[in-house]
Structure 1
Amino acid sequence: MFRRILPQAKHLSEEVIQPGDTVIDATCGNGHDTKFLAEAVGPDGAVFSFDIQAQAIETAKDLCHSHNNIEFILDSHANLGRYIPKGTPIRSAMFNLGYLPKGDKEITTVYESTFTALNEIFNRLTVGGRIIIVVYHGHPSGKIERDKLLASLSDWSQKEAQVLKYQFINQNNDAPFLLCVEKISMP
């Protein structure tokens, strides 16, 4: 059976993560990816988990209370350069675009900050590292972000990255899909 979108996102990430790696949850949300990443990198690894909503950070902290390898950051992922030391190699990053489940649907990710973060992460990504993006586009701002993101990533050099789109095309209601950017060489 094909993996559903969220299990496939985790699978693509865990394929490349090694104990001790540094990884990013660019959209902390309720903390499920943060917890997954903390377990994947182990106690010697580091997770930087970003969200712009205090509610998300607090919920995630509660979920991840037993993990000491997470730095929660109440700020936009676009500002990750302020928090992650320069020269720190990133092995994987995960994004869930859209709005906080059970949160304010007016507060959403937007292309400009998402793409800024993607570029910053890609520049720090190790060869073979991956950025996994789950695109929720069932709302107006999600459709705008989706279209701009697909157009931009389609133009990335195939000499530096492979960009995969994983999508079920026979599902109703703007079902989410997954993008995976894998770095294949240094620029």
Structure 2
Amino acid sequence: MMKAIIPFSHQLLEEVVLPGESVVDATCGNGNDTIMLSKLVSNTGRVYAFDIQKQAIEKTSARLAEQKIEHVELIHDGHEKVATYVKEETIAGGIFNLGYLPKGDHSIITTPDTTIKAIREMLPLLKKQGRIVLVIYHGHQGGKEEKDEVISLCEALDQKQYQVLQYQFINQVNNPPFIVAIEKLTQ
């Protein structure tokens, strides 16, 4: 059976992230990806988890405390500021869940300008064969514009430096989410 979107997004990172490495959760939300990444890098690695919503930081913090995970830096700031926090450090991967916080305020969404800036800041930090995985939810106001700009950026990446995968189910209704994954080919 084909993998659903979230399990496949995790698999893409599981294939390249090693214990002791650093990673970025660009939209920590309810903490699911942050916890997954923390397990991949183990106690010797580092997770930088961003969110602009206090509710998301608090929810993720509580879940990390429950599981006694301490190697995560929660950052109550926008993912477009990744280079401010991850300075001259190589990252093995990163993940974005674009759209709005599930069970949160649906009027607070990721935006094309901040998402594009974050991707551009993360690309030079990626190790060779590192991956940035974007789970794109686009069935909300502003979602189509962000989706289009992310796709446009990814299509323009030099194929000698990056390869880009799009994974989606095309027979589902109501704008199903899909994945765009960027893998760095060179160092």
What TM-score do you get using the length of structure 1 for normalisation?
0.97
What is the SS of the residue equivalent to 1:114? helix
- Give CA deviations for 1:21-47 in whole Å, capped at 9, x if unaligned: 100000010000000000110000000
In the alignment, which residue of structure 2 is the partner of 1:49?
A: 49
Distance between the aligned counterparts of 1:83 and 1:154, measured in 2?
27
In the alignment, which residue of structure 2 is the partner of 1:156?
A: 157
1:25-44 equivalences under 5 Å are 25-44=25-44
Distance between the aligned counterparts of 1:128 and 1:17, measured in 2?
9
Task: Say yes or no: does 1:69 pair with 2:62.
Answer: no
Tell me how far 1:180 sits from its aligned partner.
0.4
What runs of 5+ residues in structure 2 fail to find an aligned partner? none
Distance between the aligned counterparts of 1:20 and 1:125, measured in 2?
15
Tell me how far 1:85 sits from its aligned partner.
2.3
Task: Say yes or no: does 1:93 pair with 2:101.
Answer: no
What is the SS of the residue equivalent to 1:2? coil
For these two proteins, the number of residue pairs brought into alignment is 185
What runs of 5+ residues in structure 1 fail to find an aligned partner? none
In the alignment, which residue of structure 2 is the partner of 1:10?
A: 10
What is the SS of the residue equivalent to 2:142? helix
In the alignment, which residue of structure 2 is the partner of 1:116?
A: 117
Distance between the aligned counterparts of 1:127 and 1:83, measured in 2?
21
What is the SS of the residue equivalent to 1:119? helix
Distance between the aligned counterparts of 1:181 and 1:5, measured in 2?
16
What is the SS of the residue equivalent to 1:19? coil
Amino acid at match of 2:120: N
Distance between the aligned counterparts of 1:18 and 1:151, measured in 2?
30
Supply the RMSD in Å over aligned alpha carbons: 0.6
The runs of at least 4 consecutive aligned structure 1 residues that moved more than 3 Å come to none
In the alignment, which residue of structure 2 is the partner of 1:82?
A: 84
Tell me how far 1:152 sits from its aligned partner.
1.6
- Give CA deviations for 1:85-134 in whole Å, capped at 9, x if unaligned: 22x10001000000000111110000111011101111110010000000
Distance between the aligned counterparts of 2:112 and 2:91, measured in 1?
21
Identical columns (%): 44
What is the SS of the residue equivalent to 1:140? coil
